[in-house]
Amino acid sequence: MHVTESHWLARTRRVISPNADARPVRARIELVVVHCISLPPGRFGTGCVEALFTNTLDCRIDPSLNDLEGVRVSAHLFIDRRGRTTQFVPFSMRAWHAGVSAWRGRPGCNDFSIGIELEGTDTGAYTAAQYWRLRRVLDALLAVYPALSRDAVVGHAEIAPGRKTDPGPGFEWHRLLAATGS
Protein backbone atom coordinates (compact mmCIF):
# COMPACT_ATOMS: atom_id res chain seq x y z
CA MET A 1 0.00 0.00 0.00
CA HIS A 2 1.31 3.44 -0.84
CA VAL A 3 0.14 7.04 -1.16
CA THR A 4 0.01 8.41 -4.70
CA GLU A 5 1.43 11.79 -5.76
CA SER A 6 -2.12 13.14 -5.67
CA HIS A 7 -2.44 12.15 -1.96
CA TRP A 8 -4.77 9.18 -2.38
CA LEU A 9 -4.12 5.64 -1.17
CA ALA A 10 -3.36 3.43 -4.13
CA ARG A 11 -5.81 0.60 -4.84
CA THR A 12 -8.38 2.06 -2.44
CA ARG A 13 -12.02 2.79 -3.16
CA ARG A 14 -12.64 6.54 -3.59
CA VAL A 15 -15.85 8.39 -2.87
CA ILE A 16 -15.52 12.17 -2.93
CA SER A 17 -16.91 14.05 0.06
CA PRO A 18 -17.91 17.68 -0.43
CA ASN A 19 -17.08 18.24 3.25
CA ALA A 20 -13.46 19.24 2.84
CA ASP A 21 -11.45 22.29 1.98
CA ALA A 22 -7.88 23.49 1.54
CA ARG A 23 -5.46 23.18 4.42
CA PRO A 24 -3.92 26.45 5.62
CA VAL A 25 -0.89 27.62 3.67
CA ARG A 26 2.28 25.85 4.89
CA ALA A 27 0.30 23.37 7.00
CA ARG A 28 2.07 20.03 7.34
CA ILE A 29 0.42 16.73 8.12
CA GLU A 30 1.60 16.05 11.66
CA LEU A 31 -1.16 14.01 13.29
CA VAL A 32 -3.43 11.03 12.67
CA VAL A 33 -6.71 10.96 14.57
CA VAL A 34 -8.45 7.60 15.01
CA HIS A 35 -12.23 7.81 15.36
CA CYS A 36 -15.09 5.34 15.38
CA ILE A 37 -18.53 5.58 13.86
CA SER A 38 -21.55 3.41 13.19
CA LEU A 39 -24.89 4.58 11.89
CA PRO A 40 -27.39 3.99 13.28
CA PRO A 41 -25.32 3.61 16.46
CA GLY A 42 -24.16 0.03 16.95
CA ARG A 43 -25.25 -1.12 13.50
CA PHE A 44 -22.65 -2.00 10.89
CA GLY A 45 -22.67 -2.25 7.12
CA THR A 46 -25.66 0.04 6.60
CA GLY A 47 -24.09 2.46 4.12
CA CYS A 48 -25.14 5.33 6.36
CA VAL A 49 -21.57 6.46 7.11
CA GLU A 50 -20.85 6.96 3.41
CA ALA A 51 -24.18 8.76 3.08
CA LEU A 52 -23.29 11.04 6.01
CA PHE A 53 -19.91 11.90 4.50
CA THR A 54 -21.49 12.67 1.10
CA ASN A 55 -24.46 14.67 2.48
CA THR A 56 -26.98 12.10 1.24
CA LEU A 57 -28.04 10.59 4.59
CA ASP A 58 -31.80 10.36 5.03
CA CYS A 59 -32.07 11.10 8.74
CA ARG A 60 -35.70 9.98 8.74
CA ILE A 61 -34.76 6.29 8.44
CA ASP A 62 -34.00 6.00 12.16
CA PRO A 63 -34.82 8.30 15.09
CA SER A 64 -31.22 8.08 16.34
CA LEU A 65 -30.10 9.98 13.22
CA ASN A 66 -32.25 13.08 13.86
CA ASP A 67 -29.31 15.03 15.35
CA LEU A 68 -27.37 14.57 12.11
CA GLU A 69 -29.79 16.57 9.95
CA GLY A 70 -27.73 19.25 8.20
CA VAL A 71 -24.42 18.11 9.73
CA ARG A 72 -21.47 18.38 7.35
CA VAL A 73 -18.60 16.07 8.31
CA SER A 74 -16.06 13.83 6.65
CA ALA A 75 -12.93 11.85 7.27
CA HIS A 76 -10.05 11.03 5.02
CA LEU A 77 -10.60 7.30 5.44
CA PHE A 78 -13.25 4.87 6.62
CA ILE A 79 -12.28 1.28 7.49
CA ASP A 80 -15.23 -1.08 7.77
CA ARG A 81 -15.46 -4.23 9.93
CA ARG A 82 -13.96 -6.37 7.15
CA GLY A 83 -11.00 -4.01 6.71
CA ARG A 84 -12.28 -2.55 3.46
CA THR A 85 -11.15 1.03 3.10
CA THR A 86 -12.84 3.98 1.44
CA GLN A 87 -11.08 7.32 1.00
CA PHE A 88 -13.31 10.40 0.97
CA VAL A 89 -10.76 13.24 0.99
CA PRO A 90 -7.21 13.38 -0.41
CA PHE A 91 -4.65 13.73 2.39
CA SER A 92 -3.51 17.08 1.00
CA MET A 93 -6.92 18.56 1.87
CA ARG A 94 -8.57 19.26 5.21
CA ALA A 95 -11.33 16.80 6.13
CA TRP A 96 -13.90 17.92 8.68
CA HIS A 97 -13.48 15.22 11.31
CA ALA A 98 -12.05 16.63 14.55
CA GLY A 99 -14.32 19.55 15.40
CA VAL A 100 -13.23 21.73 18.30
CA SER A 101 -9.91 20.14 19.20
CA ALA A 102 -6.33 20.69 20.32
CA TRP A 103 -3.17 18.58 20.34
CA ARG A 104 -0.17 19.50 22.47
CA GLY A 105 -1.69 22.95 22.99
CA ARG A 106 -2.27 23.54 19.29
CA PRO A 107 -5.93 24.15 18.35
CA GLY A 108 -7.71 23.26 15.12
CA CYS A 109 -6.52 19.69 14.54
CA ASN A 110 -8.28 19.43 11.18
CA ASP A 111 -5.66 21.84 9.81
CA PHE A 112 -2.76 19.42 10.32
CA SER A 113 -4.25 15.96 10.74
CA ILE A 114 -5.55 12.96 8.87
CA GLY A 115 -8.84 11.55 10.16
CA ILE A 116 -9.46 7.81 10.04
CA GLU A 117 -12.86 6.43 11.01
CA LEU A 118 -13.19 2.82 12.06
CA GLU A 119 -16.60 1.23 11.83
CA GLY A 120 -17.37 0.52 15.46
CA THR A 121 -18.59 1.87 18.76
CA ASP A 122 -16.90 3.55 21.71
CA THR A 123 -17.67 0.52 23.86
CA GLY A 124 -17.07 -2.41 21.52
CA ALA A 125 -14.08 -4.30 20.19
CA TYR A 126 -12.59 -3.82 16.74
CA THR A 127 -11.86 -6.58 14.24
CA ALA A 128 -8.51 -8.12 13.35
CA ALA A 129 -9.10 -6.98 9.77
CA GLN A 130 -9.45 -3.36 10.94
CA TYR A 131 -6.20 -3.47 12.91
CA TRP A 132 -4.40 -5.09 9.99
CA ARG A 133 -5.65 -2.47 7.52
CA LEU A 134 -5.02 0.43 9.89
CA ARG A 135 -1.42 -0.74 10.40
CA ARG A 136 -0.91 -0.88 6.60
CA VAL A 137 -2.41 2.60 6.20
CA LEU A 138 -0.24 4.06 8.97
CA ASP A 139 2.89 2.50 7.48
CA ALA A 140 2.04 4.14 4.13
CA LEU A 141 1.39 7.52 5.75
CA LEU A 142 4.55 7.41 7.86
CA ALA A 143 6.58 6.69 4.72
CA VAL A 144 5.25 9.75 2.87
CA TYR A 145 4.64 12.47 5.46
CA PRO A 146 7.89 13.17 7.34
CA ALA A 147 6.27 15.20 10.13
CA LEU A 148 4.24 12.14 11.22
CA SER A 149 5.47 9.72 13.85
CA ARG A 150 4.01 6.88 15.90
CA ASP A 151 3.52 9.19 18.90
CA ALA A 152 1.37 11.42 16.69
CA VAL A 153 -1.33 8.76 16.25
CA VAL A 154 -4.09 9.56 18.76
CA GLY A 155 -7.74 8.95 19.46
CA HIS A 156 -10.43 11.55 19.06
CA ALA A 157 -10.81 11.51 22.85
CA GLU A 158 -7.23 12.78 23.23
CA ILE A 159 -7.80 15.89 21.12
CA ALA A 160 -11.35 16.62 22.32
CA PRO A 161 -11.41 15.44 25.95
CA GLY A 162 -14.75 15.76 27.69
CA ARG A 163 -16.47 16.05 24.32
CA LYS A 164 -15.49 12.79 22.61
CA THR A 165 -14.65 9.28 23.84
CA ASP A 166 -13.74 7.45 20.63
CA PRO A 167 -12.26 5.15 19.66
CA GLY A 168 -13.05 4.02 23.22
CA PRO A 169 -11.72 1.50 25.72
CA GLY A 170 -12.18 -1.40 23.30
CA PHE A 171 -9.46 -0.04 21.03
CA GLU A 172 -6.18 -1.85 21.64
CA TRP A 173 -3.47 0.77 21.07
CA HIS A 174 -0.66 -1.66 21.85
CA ARG A 175 -1.99 -4.00 19.15
CA LEU A 176 -1.89 -1.22 16.59
CA LEU A 177 1.32 0.59 17.40
CA ALA A 178 3.51 -2.41 18.20
CA ALA A 179 3.44 -3.47 14.57
CA THR A 180 3.55 -0.02 12.96
CA GLY A 181 6.84 1.28 11.61
CA SER A 182 8.08 4.80 12.13
Residue positions annotated with a catalytic role: 117
Q: Kindly list the distances between the CA atom of residue 149 and the CA atoms of 20, 143, 182, in Å, as whole numbers in the listed order.
A: 24, 10, 6
Q: Please state whether beta strands 77-79 and 85-87 pair in parallel, antiparallel, or not at all (unpaired).
A: antiparallel
AA letter at 171: F
CA distance 134 to 116: 9
DSSP characters over 90-149 = -TTEEES-S-S-EETTEE-GGGGEEEEEEES-TTS---HHHHHHHHHHHHHHHHH-TT--
CA distance 138 to 141: 5
